[in-house]
Amino acid sequence: MGAPLFALRVTGSPSRRPVLTRQGEKEGDVENTWSFMRGAMHAADAPKGLHKGTIRRVFRFTGPHRGKLVVFLLLTMISSVLVVSTPLLAGQVVDAIVGGHDVSLVVWLAVAIAGVAILDAGLGLAERWQSSRIGEGLIYDLRRAVFEHVQRMPVAFFTRTRTGALVSRLNNDVMGAQRAFTSTLAGLVTNVIQLVLSVAVMMTLSWQVTALAMVLLPIFVLPARRMGKRMADLQRESAGLNASMTTQMTERFSAPGATLVKLFGHPRAEADEFGGRAARVRDIGIRTAMLTRWFMTSLTLVSALAQALVYGLGGYLAITGSLAPGTVVALALLLTRLYSPLTALANVRVDVMTALVSFERVFEVLDLEPMISEARSPRTVPDGGVSVTLEDVRFGYPAADKVSLASLEEVAVLDQRGGQEVLHGVSFRAEPGQMVALVGSSGAGKSTIASLVPRLYDVESGAVRLSDVDVRELSFDALRDTVGVVTQDGHLFHDTIRANLAYPRPSATDEEIWAALRQARLSDLVSSLPDGLETVVGERGYRLSGGERQRLTIARLLLAQPRVVILDEATAHLDSESEVAVQEALTSALAGRTAIVIAHRLSTVRAADQILVVEDGRIVERGDHESLLEAGGRYADLYRTQFATQPATAA
């Protein structure tokens, strides 16, 4: 015999429109099964609750895209109606053939089926274009909002937050939020419409066959829930192992980490540890593949049994004259439109909640208020030389709950310590063009004092002034233009020398860049490199020596041309030759500028106009080098400790 009449190919998207082949197999089963399995797997990690107002806030955030959303939903609704209309047309074709109608009727029905397919294809393209515009627009809005917000956070936020956790908010959670509209919402509308229309049409065609088809639904849905739990456990373990492998690779493949492994590590033990995790991931992959195949086979069997029941009862009713043959075919085709939406809708709450949690995690970052904000009517620093004044400054580092989130630190509860005062009534003034040195024991508060001038933190009481203007009244741009800082680690981006130097002044010309390099005693080195200014310095500048990195940061400072310079242990950890080169560069950097210099090596601050000795957050001595030595106090003790001559010992 020829191919059965019900082996009609129904075109459309395989994700929601199964295709019947000659053997009656559904080519869309794989995609449908994977979609359902993903939902079932999410159920194991389904959130228990959300903050009130999250949904309302989501729709406020998506305001600019609401017009596109309406168009997208209309296209989805029309496409869903077309999906249900195709089986009815197919049934009419069968009735026309069996009833011996004029061939023109069959031809026109075939043309109608083709027209529906073409229209559906066009709608699918329009639907995809619209969803892409919404999804990518939403991703852009969320990423831009989070990135801009994070840039406004204080330094304390970054000292506590794990970078990977923060990046995850910009990637995974933003993508999860986007799926709420391009996948979850569209799927919900499509599946509801398909389900309602399919049941309504099937009931009008034959309530007996429809009732029989519904009997097997529990067998179709319930095993999937149990299987989803098992799959979720495996996926959770796999995700944890992959995260551990990623952490191991990130730490070991960075320049400092690789150096540590080379010096002290055990490569074979490292490889065995990594290999053990990778082997478990491999085993989980194999087990997951087999469980998925078993599950798919079971569902295919249940679906085949349901179709057999439909054909059995439908065929009986057709033979007895209670049902037309075409109606049986239409019911069989509509059955596939019934099961797929039901399985998808079984987990729609999980999908919606998961998407909302992604939104909530993004909002969690956006709701973390920056501790430092720009004045509503900011002032600028007067022209000319700039004085730096601290007036009875008291300060304590903020507690974790003021600047961070437990989820970003990847801890259960935030550290409750913090808020204790570390600076106690610090006062001094650096006149324009003067150098003020801060010396003292480690942890005395020197770097904390320096961090208040560029307003990395705000004082709790007292004031920090630039040319008698409180830094809290200045614009952020004015602060960046006025104050330049060189730290002891000399951080550089993984970029070219040109990009790193021009970071504070993107408009800088080559002549200005080379002038800064000459002042920093670095022009000969850069000109000797094959790529010159286009040389990539590597992660954190590790392709350069410590002294070269420091001089490059000094050149960057010179190019920025700040009127106030802060040097925080700029020559720390350098050998004598590098220190000499850096000191020469610093002489150029400090010429004509107000400077605050933090140094442990007292030889570097002898020429300071004023030396402040800081201990336990207080200034305990002040004066120039000679007067402090004559006073015989803490500075004199530090000086004698560093420059005491040790008696020679016999070999």
Is the Cβ–Cβ distance between 535 and 496 less than 8 Å? yes
Tell me what pLDDT residue 30 has: 43
- Amino acid identity of residue 300, one-letter, is T
Tell me what pLDDT residue 243 has: 63
Tell me what pLDDT residue 394 has: 93
DSSP 3-state of 48: coil
Query: Using CA atoms in the order 104, 109, 113, 119, what is the torsion angle rounded to 10 degrees?
Result: 80
Q: Estimate to the nearest angstrom the gap between the alpha carbon of 625 and the chain centroid.
A: 51
Ranges in the chain, pLDDT < 50: 1-48, 645-651
Is the Cβ–Cβ distance between 640 and 444 less than 8 Å? no
> In this structure, what are the phi and psi dihedrals at residue 125, rounded to the nearest 5 degrees?
-65, -45
d(CA 19, CA 340): 12
Residue 614 burial class via C-beta count within 10 angstroms: exposed 0-12, middle 13-18, buried 19 and up: buried
Residues 6+ apart with CB under 8 A from 321: none
Q: Estimate to the nearest angstrom the gap between the alpha carbon of 534 and the chain centroid.
A: 29
Over residues 366-410, the pLDDT tens digits come to 888 888 888 888 888 988 889 999 999 999 888 776 776 766 666
The CA angle 146-148-416, to the nearest 5 degrees, is: 65
H or E element that contains 238: helix 217-253
- Looking only at the bridges linking them, the beta strands covering 610-615 and 435-440 are parallel
- Looking only at the bridges linking them, the beta strands covering 421-430 and 388-396 are antiparallel
d(CA 228, CA 235): 10
Q: Enumerate domains of the chain plus CATH numbers.
A: 29-366 (1.20.1560.10), 388-401+419-643 (3.40.50.300)
d(CA 488, CA 490): 6
Over residues 24-50, the pLDDT tens digits come to 334 444 444 444 444 444 444 444 455
